[in-house]
Chains A and B, each alone.
Chain A
Amino acid sequence: MTQLQARGVVRAYGPTPALRGVTLDVAEGEIVAVTGPSGCGKSTLLHCLAGILRPDAGEVTWRGHRIDTWSEAARSRLRRTEFGVLFQFGQLVAELTAAENVALPLLLAGTGRREARTAALTWLERFGVADLADLRPGEMSGGQQQRCATARALVTEPWVLFADEPTGALDTLTGEQVLTQLVRLAREQRTAVVLVTHEPRIAAYADREIVLRDGLVDHTGLGLDVPLAGGAR
């Protein structure tokens, strides 16, 4: 079943076009890599799909509901409850411990404090950082922080996870460990993932690759709609 659709999405920054009519579908539980050279519109597309940015034209629908016309408050609520968002770095709240950071989306969604902490500890455990539960971000390495941020993005068991270069600030081994675990857990709970990356070896974790060039889906681009070898899933 299609979870997320973009239809002719256009977005500009002042006079500079970033997206010039992008159409794509993301199915339930599907992992889609969005790739392309710097400045091709990858991150802008992710922001439009996640309801962070509003397109200038075109439509974004989620489970049949057109969300690009929703108010900022409604889109924000959608992101808190149904979506997860993960960026390259700088996402944890500096004043909160790892466990408090991971519990935060659940608390905002109305989960009780004790239940939220239990879930947070479970998710920290899944990313191998349960022993850091009571440390603040400033007391952790970059890789540890990104594991916590990934746990926080998945703790609500979202329908869709939007990940923008999630391993871009990590060394190769740490990045692969975080990504392998992210993909494994997303598949287990059938969370769809929109993964923005410029690295072929990261895109290779996805079921399908969509290449953007100059704000458009590049139909001559490599890997367009190419399923994962072996027909996984």
Chain B
Amino acid sequence: MTVFIQQIITGLSIGSIYALLAVGYALIYSIFNFSNFAFGVIMMVGTFGAVYAINWAGAPLPIAILAGMLVAAAISLVVEVSTYRPMRRKNAPRLYLMIAGIGINMFIENLAIQTLGSSVKPFPSDWGREILNVGGVSIAFADLLSGGLSLVMLACLWLFIYRTKTGLGIRASSYDVNTTGLMGVNVDMVSLVVFAISGLTAGLSGVFYGMKYTVYPSMGIVSNKAFVAAVIGGLGSLPGAVLGGILLGLLETMVSAYVSSLLRDMIAYLVMIVILVFIPNGIMGKSVKEKL
């Protein structure tokens, strides 16, 4: 029984990271209707920001987390202003934005590899690895915190989007950007806010990921899992993204523990495909007409 609970905890712990990442993904998707494939490197740059804040400036952990989030938000804005916005202005279809995202991913990741080195760094704080032992089940502090912060982040996002005026603008532009612009909403401002928030979540999840595991330039690859989670949960739905992330984490852990770690991804993906065959819009996705 303890073992079973331990596996559940492990699954929730991976799931919470997937969930946090998937929220950032889903946020951009819900407004702009495209998948931001540069998300992985935004997360990576944020993590490195936090690591260097500690290593170079000797910042305490909370400041470092904040620094990481701000760095990620900044790079997210740079990506939006330099690439995505000019492309949207030219009415580029969303598939083209995704390919540009793959290009950005490749560019920044390899730039980091060649300038910072591809070797693995430990996150310069052991705090996240402190273990809480409850009746033979070990839970890492970072897990509790990342789970808790995901919820807080989600609540803030919900309040922001549904209870503020800017949020109203964001929701309006997710339906029709042009008309929203005509109604006097500064659409450019809205997109900046959305990308900044998405960058903040990427930075936060990156720091937790780095704290739990290790830091290296290709760590952004985990965002693929977040993309999968966002699709399972229903693209564009924030609660769906969280649900999808946690389900994916649990599914992977349970398959690995009770079926076979050799076939883990195979079975996890097969289950996902079966889910998608029956509910193609994901668990909490709304049925929208998509066009390339």
B is a partner of A: no
Q: Taking beta carbons and an 8 Å cutoff, which residues of A are in contact with B?
A: none
Q: Taking beta carbons and an 8 Å cutoff, which residues of B are in contact with A?
A: none
